[in-house]
């Protein structure tokens, strides 16, 4: 027996006729039928509101996740080959020319200082285009190859991201020095 049946039975018992008058009986049955119909209708409406509310919440969650992701597919894992950095978002002619220039610089200047500078410039381009993850990866590689002079912060030249990474790298180096002493 469900809740609906139990409440229907309760209403029937309360409105059931106990006297001999048949006119009262018909009136009571008519009131009972209308009351049960109204109660059932209200229950159905409440259930519909509940279902509609749950659907709206679900759709709002989907919309929120789409907005937070920016409508893009999730990023590939870090273990993917380094060539992922070479795959850039659609770019303008100028950006493509700058990237090809960076690749030429890398091929013609194999020493660590020029490689570090090339990686930094590539990271700057990626940062300007909004690819923060790739920019951080290139900045870190650049700092691995950088000399002590290149690790110095240049506020007019460095981006805020590079400044933060240089500060972190300097702090790590200082902590390592103090730990070994």
Q: 147 pLDDT exceeds 50?
A: yes
Structure tokens at 72: 């893009």
Tell me whether residue 50 is in a domain.
yes
Tell me whether residue 130 is in a domain.
yes
Out of 1-10, 41-50, 169-178, the most confident range is 41-50
The C-alpha atoms of residue 99 and residue 88 are separated, in whole angstroms, by: 10
Amino acid 114: pLDDT: 77
Question: Both 91 and 145 in a single domain?
Answer: yes
Q: 18 pLDDT exceeds 80?
A: no
Give the residue among 168, 169, 82, 92 at the shortest CA–CA distance from 128.
Answer: 92
Higher-confidence residue: 121 or 81?
Answer: 121
Question: Both 123 and 172 in a single domain?
Answer: yes
Query: Does the model's pTM come out above 0.85?
Result: no
Question: Both 61 and 89 in a single domain?
Answer: no
Question: Both 159 and 121 in a single domain?
Answer: yes
Last residue of a domain, one of 69, 91, 115: 69
Q: How far is CA 122 from CA 80, 86, 99, 109, 111, in A?
A: 19, 10, 7, 15, 17
pLDDT digits (tens, 9 = 90+) for 52-108: 999 999 999 999 998 888 755 455 444 444 444 445 455 555 566 666 666 666 555
Question: Both 128 and 155 in a single domain?
Answer: yes
Question: Both 46 and 90 in a single domain?
Answer: no
b/e burial code for range 44-78 (CB count within 10 A of at least 16 → b): eeeeeeeeeeeeeeeeeeeeeeeeeeeeeeeeeee
The C-alpha atoms of residue 1 and residue 105 are separated, in whole angstroms, by: 81
Question: Both 105 and 48 in a single domain?
Answer: no
Last residue of a domain, one of 69, 99, 125: 69
Question: Both 174 and 112 in a single domain?
Answer: yes
Tell me whether residue 74 is in a domain.
no
Question: Both 88 and 19 in a single domain?
Answer: no
Question: Both 58 and 92 in a single domain?
Answer: no
The C-alpha atoms of residue 163 and residue 166 are separated, in whole angstroms, by: 5
Give the residue among 58, 59, 125, 45 at the shortest CA–CA distance from 91.
Answer: 125
Our count of domains for the chain comes to: 2
Question: Both 172 and 86 in a single domain?
Answer: yes
Residue 14 lies in domain: 3-69
Question: Both 25 and 47 in a single domain?
Answer: yes
């Amino acid at each position: 027996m469900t809740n609906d049946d139990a409440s229907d039975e309760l209403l029937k018992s309360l409105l059931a006729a106990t006297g001999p008058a048949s006119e009262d009986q018909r009136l009571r049955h008519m009131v009972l039928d209308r009351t049960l119909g109204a109660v059932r209708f209200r229950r159905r409406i409440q259930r519909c509101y509940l279902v509609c509310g749950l659907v709206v919440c679900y759709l709002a969650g989907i919309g929120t996740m789409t907005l937070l992701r920016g409508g893009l597919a999730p990023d590939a894992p870090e273990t993917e080959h380094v060539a992922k950095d070479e795959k850039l978002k659609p770019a303008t002619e100028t950006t493509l020319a700058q990237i090809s220039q960076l690749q030429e610089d890398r091929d013609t200047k194999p020493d660590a200082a020029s490689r570090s500078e090339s990686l930094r410039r590539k990271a700057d381009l990626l940062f300007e285009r909004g690819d923060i993850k790739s920019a951080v990866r290139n900045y870190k590689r650049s700092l691995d190859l950088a000399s002590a002079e290149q690790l110095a912060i240049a506020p007019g030249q460095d981006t805020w991201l590079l400044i933060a990474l240089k500060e972190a790298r300097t702090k790590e180096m200082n902590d390592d020095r103090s730990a070994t002493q």
